Amino acid sequence: MEPFSYHAFVCTQEKAEGVPCCATAGSFSVLGALHGALGKQGLADEVQVSSCGCLGICDSGPVMVVYPEGIWYTKLTPADVPEVVASHFKDGKKVARLERSDSAEMKAEMFDHHNKYLAMLKGKDAAGVLPDDVNEMIRGFMPSRAVLTALELDVFTAVGKGGTAQQVAGKIQAAVRATEMLLNALVSLNLLEKRDGVYSNTAVSARFLAEGTPDTARAAQLHIANVWKRWSTLTEAVKAGSSVVQRNEDGWVKTFIAAMDHTARGRARAVAHAAGVKGAKRQLDHGGGSGAN
Ligand code: FES
């Protein structure tokens, strides 16, 4: 007996720049829309949603496979999701216009994709190219730096319910072109959405990264921006055998307290929720504390 009526796998595989994949085709937005639509239809407990790696038909992304029937939906957009939820998950009728059912062709495409992938790995190895995972490790700071800069400039609050690059740049008092590049980077990190030149927060960034919400973590995460400055001098610190950073005590202490306060509050809320203490979250949000977050 299955614990759920349906199990939907959404491919969120990311690949090197220029290589087609579901992530760049928008699968994270589809995933977000799916969770939202299932919640709205009261089906969140009936449909298990899992993100997954490459399903082998990358040119048809974003791809979602639904079991038990094994229906392959391809080239999905967030706008398609409410129809899939209402028709397939609620009424049990697949959405034929979004289904890819040419199984033989799909299988051939998957094999071809797999063989090309193996050939590429072999070719790279023979050519002495740095392995992808090591390359990614070395560049791993880039997404983090983009988010920290956005937090320092309070970009998510400035984006609010939506704005163009020019409007956001005006609010954070920054150069328009550079702001646009940062906003685009945040879109690729799935922390903003962009439609017709207008940027808006995702559910996660609106809740956790913008100011003025009960769960905002911005002030606390600014501590990590301070930690970043120290980590950036690691080379010199290793040579010298001690820290080489003159730290700004005021800024450091303020963000450190905010981070500790946020962590303690989060743990207390989690414990209170687990114990079913009614009103605990509200009390922790408004009842005393340092107010640092
Ligand atoms: S990246 Fe999604 S099917 Fe290959």
CA–centroid distance, residue 110 to ligand 1 (Å): 10
Residue-wise pLDDT tens for the chain (293 aa)? Answer: 678 999 999 999 988 777 889 999 999 889 989 999 999 999 999 999 999 999 999 999 999 999 999 999 999 999 999 999 999 999 999 999 999 999 999 999 999 989 988 998 899 999 999 998 899 899 999 999 999 999 999 999 999 999 999 999 999 999 999 999 999 999 988 899 888 899 999 999 999 999 999 999 999 899 999 889 889 999 999 999 998 877 666 677 777 787 787 777 777 877 777 777 655 555 555 544 333 33
The number of the ligand 1 atom at minimal distance from the alpha carbon of 61 is 2
CA distance 189 to 185: 6
pTM: predicted TM-score of the whole model, two decimal places: 0.65
Residue 226 CB coordination number (10 Å): 20
Percent of the chain as helix, strand, coil, to the nearest 5: 55, 10, 35
Sheet containing strand 71-73, edge to edge, reads 47-52, 6-11, 64-67, 71-73
Nearest CA to ligand 1 atom 1: 21
Backbone angles phi, psi at 177, to 5 degrees: -65, -40
Residues in a beta bridge with 65:
9, 72
Mutating to test ligand 1, I would choose from 10, 19, 22 the residue with most ligand atoms within 8 A of its C-beta, which is 22
The number of the ligand 1 atom at minimal distance from the alpha carbon of 23 is 1
Lining ligand 1 with CB less than 6 A are 11, 13, 21-22, 54-58, 61, 63
CA–centroid distance, residue 29 to ligand 1 (Å): 15
Amino acid at 76: L
- Across 107-128, b (16+ Cβ under 10 Å) vs e yields eebeeebeeeeeeeeeeeeeee
Three-class secondary structure of residue 66 per DSSP: strand
Q: How many CA atoms, within 13 angstroms, populate the side-chain half-sphere of residue 232? A: 13
* pLDDT given at position 291: 37
CA–centroid distance, residue 132 to ligand 1 (Å): 17
CA–centroid distance, residue 277 to ligand 1 (Å): 43
CA distance 70 to 108: 17
* pLDDT given at position 3: 83
The number of the ligand 1 atom at minimal distance from the alpha carbon of 27 is 2
The number of the ligand 1 atom at minimal distance from the alpha carbon of 57 is 3
CA–centroid distance, residue 281 to ligand 1 (Å): 40
